[in-house]
Structure 1
């Protein structure tokens, strides 16, 4: 689902990773939020929320992506379209369904034969043991009340019912719903494993129950859409189990009214949600293809994360994470959402989405406030979407109860479990007045909040030319605006026999770079002093940029390919294998930086360091030989406010000549990247700045390493390197208190870095701090002996438990500083 950002109170940030998506963040990056509270409406409150745009820049560019003409895709049998008792069947027959309006593929028989679920597997005896005894009593009372409450808007204004589940059968209808099974964490560091165990999801007395339990559970490390997904994988374990159901692959819709009647769970750390995701990521992985949050609430009944009864409706769209956009509104109904059933709805038409709670229209957003910036392929490169994109494709419904997240605290030990989201019905309508656009059936309230959102960026591109009819000389500016000339030099490896490179090849009125690869090797453009593409998380080049060049393949071995690389010094490089264009023809090739893979020459696959690029362009053949020609090699991105790509000289190191703090009650301002983590997979490293048990000590850094299967580190970093040669004879010191060593027997390691891959190497310090606070001192000379370059320190402190022995380690840090002798 959702997001890896810390959130301001009351803000929706459902960073749901789509079917093909996945993101892992390596530091506690924050996203600023605008929140305003509208006037009281019928004893309710509405709050507008919106993510701060990475850079608002703007226009639209037409997409050649074809919009699906089908409005409904269903693989369930036609019986799934039957009317509920609360709705007249004539509302279906009167909608004048045609093949252009409603497409139904009946595959019920084949799906049922392949579906392992059966009534015996989800038997009432299993459900009635723990879950039913604690939950079913409320379901029983609520069933008659909820079932009798049908949305008036659902049958008014020309809305026609096209799909529903009233949960009248004994078990979950497997022709309509799929359980997701994984312990992935949703990209947000969530604390639950999603299971298909009947105790986590079942039907009782006409109510679907999605139940979170406090229990140790292990399962797959990835979601079902990951090509490496293994249903038998049990490598990740979590302290909670829960359920997440979806209609993907069975039913999805383009435009219409989605209506869900539900009662939500109660408790700190709970995160129930009702939402919709694109079934096909036409515009790319999350968030490029969009997300519609119909309902979500953080810690219902608790005010430590915003108003305790405020629900949120939100859209996600825009750039790649962490530059992604989101916007929406909060609404507080008169009755608590965990005490009563409420009906949560969206009406979705071309270019407009509206949110409702019990038919109260509380928010509207139009396409003027959303956009997508998506990858159009190797030939077209990045495109700025237009019109209703990305909310113009088929979406499916998702129901789930998450527990905790990187920005949401875990439930308290005294919290009551199990906790359930109870769902009375799910209904989908489409507008009979104009099924193709969904327009003409709107239910409009006169006090709904207009969500502004984020306007599409101007489609203005900035370029930095590296080679155009010859090698370019770059004209840059330093941080003070002074001009800096950066020389690029063409090079090749290994020798003139294996690689024959001519960067001044004359071809009519053009000067080309002609390269003959007679074996394994590479050709590249080297920067004399290096280039700074921004920090590794928020780089404009990385997030919004692409490498473009003209390529003519004169010859290439059968089965051979070509790789493009970005290189910051071995082993820190990133690559992408391009589709080889037709031989003998000139083709413009685009390669996006964002999806470049890490170096496959190393087991841990390090990537290019965007703060210190040595070779901004490198090309090499793989699996054979090739003869190619190149021209017009350039870096292209959406222009920033200054009309550029934010490519600069590597900043000169600032001199540090006195004792300096890294952390003392807070991260020192020198280390502007702040407190960060890196982990092989998440969630594993959990950090927080907390009050020490000893009041006189003030604030300390609390660090927990949670997983047996993962490894990670905690560090402090600056986006600018510092020259600390004056502290050559000094010491690195810090206070440490280890609350629990968990599975660790080999102790801890510290180190310091000098713009990756430059590092001191590991300095073992053993099992320190076992008996309370202890001060550790490491001579700077030891760091230098391990390889630290004091002239360019950017990471003055790194700590980790011994690799492979990290589960259960819980420690606190204080008074981290470098001291002059």
Structure 2
């Protein structure tokens, strides 16, 4: 997680009084939101479970946890020991000692006990429920509404009391149901509420965050931290946490106080840069979970996990979903705000390559989105590291070539390294692909070593191979390749996703080390 701006506001009851009558926020002494109850004139829309509120929102889905068991028509358990992608310590299980409904509450309990289970997430095509190769030192639960409750736009609200202690990490959040733009976080993530290590060293913040951008390490997250007014700790009592999500805008609330907003000007997915609303324009589902440990808690207040703090319980009073009757398709027209919130600017979306100017820069000491570095090998590895170029690296004229460069090493005889984007783009207006190249080590077993360059589009089209002479060692050489020659070799330049692929001769690569810089396309 990143560094968040922290803000304190007026007490929830005071803030609620300042909200206009068209808003839907408010609070009582217990922190429970009380939405307006007088329905507008007109018939109830079919999807509404109750008459619409004055705000225009109507209830479309809810779990009040009033029964004696978790409702299988609303929630299913994820069961795995993957560590959540964050080196977390728990296994998620479906066990009544870890999650249950009683006394009008859902309780999720994290317990210190060794466990084993599947080492893949439940949606992985190779997921095996009988797999025991994953391990954890705690058990806990993760419930989701996927396939049972999936929505695009609405108000998503929970009233809960959070656990405390070093290593505790409760969350109320949303993931895409269809992953329309690709794997995490290309299709987005909406964190309605997260908190870590509450009451350790005075920790009392909650966080609301978006995840988007490109696949790791090009992923982006932006959000805000919030402290409940009056020095109240979320682990001491129940409070209400919500987001209102409409086309192009997402707002965060605690006890009716609107504390943060993000808009489409500050989010993006490299899988659809031409779509300003993406990735937050698809159906998402709800998740409730209690993680233990992991990268984030370990870097806040302390390191590791305080075993003496467990077991810990995450208690949820209700979960409710509202949608805006003003416009179900966009979710607009029902927004509530007290006017005192942080507008988080998010991250500026990169231009699509076909929107670039006369130069499309892919790498110049840093990788420019939407491109990232990838490798493919049949065995061994192709490594890329960004390093400072040594002063002895010169062009033929003797000028110093300084700054950061990409150093590529082949510990294999069958591998390639390449810059690739998630989507394909029309680059037919460009005339050349250019880059600077320096050879540090030639392949071990090649008598007359050569290099091969290519640019690829989505299979089955390809550029074919474009052979390059191996330059003399330790001297920089500027390479310029006409796009026209790549097109003649088979490249469809109207849908390029991989404009740079480099490798020594296939089968004779081991030990080769080269540096590249200033990778760009020129109109």
| Partner secondary structure for residue 279 of structure 2 | coil
In the alignment, which residue of structure 1 is the partner of 2:197?
299
CA spacing shift, 1:182–1:648, aligned 2, 3 Å: closer
Of 269, 278, 286, the match for 1:372: 269
Please state how far the C-alpha of 1:580 moved relative to its aligned partner. 6.7
Of 319, 324, 347, the match for 2:244: 347
Please state how far the C-alpha of 1:179 moved relative to its aligned partner. 0.4
| CA distance in 1 between partners of 2:313 and 2:240 (Å) | 17
| CA distance in 1 between partners of 2:133 and 2:293 (Å) | 20
In the superposition, the TM-score normalised over structure 2's length comes to 0.65
Which aligned pairs between 1:272-283 and structure 2 lie closer than 5 A? 272-283=170-181
| CA distance in 2 between partners of 1:43 and 1:90 (Å) | 25
| Partner secondary structure for residue 323 of structure 2 | strand
In the alignment, which residue of structure 1 is the partner of 2:233?
336
Which aligned pairs between 1:565-604 and structure 2 lie closer than 5 A? none
In the alignment, which residue of structure 1 is the partner of 2:366?
none
Please state how far the C-alpha of 1:310 moved relative to its aligned partner. 0.4
CA spacing shift, 1:161–1:37, aligned 2, 3 Å: closer
Which aligned pairs between 1:445-594 and structure 2 lie closer than 5 A? 445-460=338-353, 462=360, 483=395, 532=406, 541-542=418-419, 544=421
Which aligned pairs between 1:649-668 and structure 2 lie closer than 5 A? none
| Partner secondary structure for residue 59 of structure 2 | strand
Does the CA contact (< 8 Å) of 1:533 and 1:540 recur in 2?
no
Aligned residues: 392
| CA distance in 1 between partners of 2:335 and 2:233 (Å) | 27
Does the CA contact (< 8 Å) of 1:267 and 1:411 recur in 2?
no
In the alignment, which residue of structure 2 is the partner of 1:186?
84
Superposed CA offset, 1:255-279 (max 9, x none): 1100000000011011110001110
Superposed CA offset, 1:767-801 (max 9, x none): xxxxxxxxxxxxxxxxxxxxxx9x99xxxxxxxxx
In the alignment, which residue of structure 1 is the partner of 2:468?
none
Does the CA contact (< 8 Å) of 1:264 and 1:420 recur in 2?
yes
Of 317, 328, 333, the match for 1:440: 333
Does the CA contact (< 8 Å) of 1:92 and 1:162 recur in 2?
no
Of 306, 316, 327, the match for 2:222: 327
Unaligned runs of 5+ residues in structure 1 are 1-12, 14-32, 45-85, 105-153, 375-382, 465-477, 486-530, 551-567, 571-576, 582-587, 592-628, 639-643, 651-755, 759-788, 793-821
Please state how far the C-alpha of 1:435 moved relative to its aligned partner. 1.2
In the alignment, which residue of structure 1 is the partner of 2:254?
357
CA spacing shift, 1:167–1:426, aligned 2, 3 Å: same
Superposed CA offset, 1:150-205 (max 9, x none): xxxx9441110000000011100000000000001111111000000111110011
- With 255-264 and 407-416 compared, the bigger mean Cα shift is at 407-416
CA spacing shift, 1:363–1:547, aligned 2, 3 Å: closer
In the alignment, which residue of structure 2 is the partner of 1:66?
none
| CA distance in 1 between partners of 2:56 and 2:220 (Å) | 33
In the alignment, which residue of structure 2 is the partner of 1:404?
293
Superposed CA offset, 1:454-499 (max 9, x none): 12111235389xxxxxxxxxxxxx77795589xxxxxxxxxxxxxx
In the alignment, which residue of structure 1 is the partner of 2:10?
42
| Partner secondary structure for residue 632 of structure 1 | coil
Report whether the alignment pairs 1:424 with 2:310.
no
Superposed CA offset, 1:612-640 (max 9, x none): xxxxxxxxxxxxxxxxx9433889679xx
| CA distance in 2 between partners of 1:235 and 1:188 (Å) | 18
CA spacing shift, 1:170–1:649, aligned 2, 3 Å: closer
Does the CA contact (< 8 Å) of 1:259 and 1:427 recur in 2?
yes
| Partner secondary structure for residue 84 of structure 2 | coil
| Partner secondary structure for residue 368 of structure 1 | helix
In the alignment, which residue of structure 1 is the partner of 2:182?
284
Please state how far the C-alpha of 1:91 moved relative to its aligned partner. 5.7
Superposed CA offset, 1:646-697 (max 9, x none): x9999xxxxxxxxxxxxxxxxxxxxxxxxxxxxxxxxxxxxxxxxxxxxxxx
In the alignment, which residue of structure 2 is the partner of 1:389?
278
Which aligned pairs between 1:70-81 and structure 2 lie closer than 5 A? none
CA spacing shift, 1:203–1:543, aligned 2, 3 Å: farther
Please state how far the C-alpha of 1:359 moved relative to its aligned partner. 0.3
In the alignment, which residue of structure 2 is the partner of 1:714?
none
Which aligned pairs between 1:162-241 and structure 2 lie closer than 5 A? 162-241=60-139
Does the CA contact (< 8 Å) of 1:252 and 1:395 recur in 2?
yes
| CA distance in 2 between partners of 1:196 and 1:569 (Å) | 54
| Partner secondary structure for residue 136 of structure 2 | strand
In the alignment, which residue of structure 2 is the partner of 1:807?
none
| Partner secondary structure for residue 408 of structure 1 | helix
Larger Rg: 1
| CA distance in 2 between partners of 1:198 and 1:246 (Å) | 16
| CA distance in 2 between partners of 1:270 and 1:535 (Å) | 41
In the alignment, which residue of structure 2 is the partner of 1:729?
none
CA spacing shift, 1:385–1:215, aligned 2, 3 Å: farther
Please state how far the C-alpha of 1:445 moved relative to its aligned partner. 1.7
In the alignment, which residue of structure 2 is the partner of 1:728?
none
**Cα-Cα RMSD:** 4.3
Please state how far the C-alpha of 1:408 moved relative to its aligned partner. 3.0
| CA distance in 2 between partners of 1:217 and 1:209 (Å) | 20
Does the CA contact (< 8 Å) of 2:36 and 2:55 recur in 1?
no
- With 408-417 and 392-401 compared, the bigger mean Cα shift is at 408-417
Superposed CA offset, 1:697-733 (max 9, x none): xxxxxxxxxxxxxxxxxxxxxxxxxxxxxxxxxxxxx
In the alignment, which residue of structure 1 is the partner of 2:471?
none
Does the CA contact (< 8 Å) of 2:463 and 2:490 recur in 1?
no
Please state how far the C-alpha of 1:34 moved relative to its aligned partner. 5.0
| CA distance in 2 between partners of 1:408 and 1:569 (Å) | 46
| CA distance in 2 between partners of 1:257 and 1:281 (Å) | 21
**Of the two structures, which has the highest relative contact order with CA contacts closer than 8 Å and spacing of 6 or more?**
2
Which aligned pairs between 1:622-633 and structure 2 lie closer than 5 A? 630-632=489-491
Please state how far the C-alpha of 1:327 moved relative to its aligned partner. 0.5
CA spacing shift, 1:205–1:92, aligned 2, 3 Å: farther
Please state how far the C-alpha of 1:301 moved relative to its aligned partner. 1.3
| CA distance in 2 between partners of 1:310 and 1:171 (Å) | 31
| CA distance in 2 between partners of 1:163 and 1:91 (Å) | 18
CA spacing shift, 1:548–1:444, aligned 2, 3 Å: closer
Does the CA contact (< 8 Å) of 1:548 and 1:590 recur in 2?
no
| CA distance in 2 between partners of 1:177 and 1:448 (Å) | 33
In the superposition, the TM-score normalised over structure 1's length comes to 0.43
| Partner secondary structure for residue 261 of structure 2 | strand
Of 178, 195, 203, the match for 1:308: 203
Superposed CA offset, 1:596-618 (max 9, x none): xxxxxxxxxxxxxxxxxxxxxxx
| CA distance in 1 between partners of 2:170 and 2:90 (Å) | 12
Does the CA contact (< 8 Å) of 1:95 and 1:160 recur in 2?
no
| CA distance in 2 between partners of 1:345 and 1:483 (Å) | 59
| Partner secondary structure for residue 308 of structure 2 | coil
| CA distance in 2 between partners of 1:256 and 1:535 (Å) | 50
| CA distance in 2 between partners of 1:415 and 1:637 (Å) | 51
Does the CA contact (< 8 Å) of 2:93 and 2:139 recur in 1?
yes
